[in-house]
Structure 1
């Protein structure tokens, strides 16, 4: 627990510093870096025999995916740079399948589970986390980018403490034996409370009043999707026979262990923020 708290005390301010105070391209660089590490972790779990040889291709694909997202928004929308990045990303996807054909029958061949692992780590996860980049590029994006993090992380924290205090009924014992229904409900409350507190801080920093109804809704949806992401990635861990995806963050595991909830919360948050009138 001490390691977990220490990493949070150091990591959260650093994360906020990049997301809120650095230029939007820094968010893209940070997300790309997280995705590269995530590729190594996911390939190591889902395709351990092929990870050493092929994770570099998946990591390259993830970087191009994130920057394709970045160059598709803001002042870059419709530009030549966006078109070039889109074509390069498409070319890399083709290269992945060419590699599978070329490697067939060899010691390092890519079978369907390997290709699936590369697609998830190189495309699906970066597209999901890339929604943080999309949020950062919106008006008041330096604040809005924190919404999926606040809802997901507050949900995680309150679910942990709520489960410790009130937990009796198991939520999904075969997937995550320690999670309880009482903890899950506490997590939903945590997501909503977190967004109410976020609304206050957002107003103090920007003098823009966010709609409280939408804030509560975003907290609830972010918490639901965050918990689903946590359980989904736990399910993959159980199937792969591992406890954590990595050891990069003491007390938290790897990047995927820490950001699994954000991977599910960020896309839904971006869609709601884009569709709603928050202020």
Structure 2
């Protein structure tokens, strides 16, 4: 099967699945999906950058990554349960502190046995088990962000904004790059990416934001983003998502890895497919908090 056919097949199966889980199923289904994705992504990253040296930290890292969306879900549920007297516990902060402490305990024990864990592996475990899941879990924050005002339907729409921008950017960048790409964007990091493809990605990001706005307007009978917001989220969101794509490519190049995994045919692993979303999701969530 060709790479393009595999990509199309994954899209045909994956897009309806994401629509079902993120747009229709209860909030906890999004939490479960993200917990699985974070666990797989943490395993992929540790396997790629740490190999044998990271095996002692792998169980802790994968477990912490899976628990991050659970903690985010708990925080958001308390915040919007109208229990105003109950403080929102910093569950993610507590989890992060426990993870770092546990990782260093393992490192200390290994050091005393003359089998030290390199500090680079420790930092990789913190990124894989905490930073990456926190970034991707912003999808869950978007999904649950409007619960207190009875605007669950808005959350079900807004969770797709980073996805539409990222996937629109990735798709148009791929096709424009394949057909018109002549000038290399970053030859050593990603040899196949071109300046023309990057420009196509910016347009694709805008089209993705426009498509979501059009669909959302039919669902809630209101265009929740105007032309300026569509252009802004599309352009800046695409730029951020492309930086995310290149950032994870830098890691792959440094460690000589072609793909992080083989879970998604034609795409690679979870990190290969959702690298751009990982960067776009926190950007969209933070900007919406400011606005």
Tell me the TM-score normalised to structure 1 length.
Answer: 0.93
Equivalent of 1:93 in 91, 100, 105: 100
Q: 1-side partners of 2:130 and 2:181: how far apart?
A: 36
Q: Which residue of 2 aligns with 1:59?
A: 62
Q: Which residue of 2 aligns with 1:178?
A: 192
> Helix, strand or coil for the counterpart of 2:229?
helix
The alignment status of 1:13 with 2:16, answered yes or no, reads yes
Equivalent of 2:47 in 44, 48, 56: 44
Q: Which residue of 1 aligns with 2:132?
A: 125
- Please say which of residues 131-140 and 56-65 is displaced more in the overlay: 56-65
> Helix, strand or coil for the counterpart of 2:262?
coil
Equivalent of 1:241 in 228, 252, 256: 256
Tell me the TM-score normalised to structure 2 length.
Answer: 0.90
Q: 2-side partners of 1:4 and 1:105: how far apart?
A: 48
Distance change (3 Å), C-alpha of 1:108 and 1:19:
farther
How far 1:261 moved relative to its partner? 0.2
Equivalent of 1:262 in 264, 277, 281: 277
How far 1:80 moved relative to its partner? 6.7
**RMSD value over aligned CA atoms?**
1.8
> Helix, strand or coil for the counterpart of 2:89?
helix
The alignment status of 1:110 with 2:124, answered yes or no, reads no
Q: 2-side partners of 1:54 and 1:86: how far apart?
A: 20
Q: Which residue of 2 aligns with 1:135?
A: 142
Post-superposition Cα deviations, 1:31-65, rounded to whole Å, max 9, x if no partner, equal 11101000110001110113443211101111232
Structure 1 unmatched ranges of 5 or more:
none
Q: Which residue of 2 aligns with 1:68?
A: 71
Q: 2-side partners of 1:231 and 1:208: how far apart?
A: 36
How far 1:222 moved relative to its partner? 1.4
Q: How does 1:126-275 map to 2 (within 5 A)?
A: 126-139=133-146, 140-212=154-226, 213-275=228-290
Q: Which residue of 2 aligns with 1:24?
A: 27
Distance change (3 Å), C-alpha of 1:179 and 1:3:
same
Say how many residue pairs are matched: 276
Q: 2-side partners of 1:269 and 1:85: how far apart?
A: 20
Q: Which residue of 2 aligns with 1:82?
A: 89
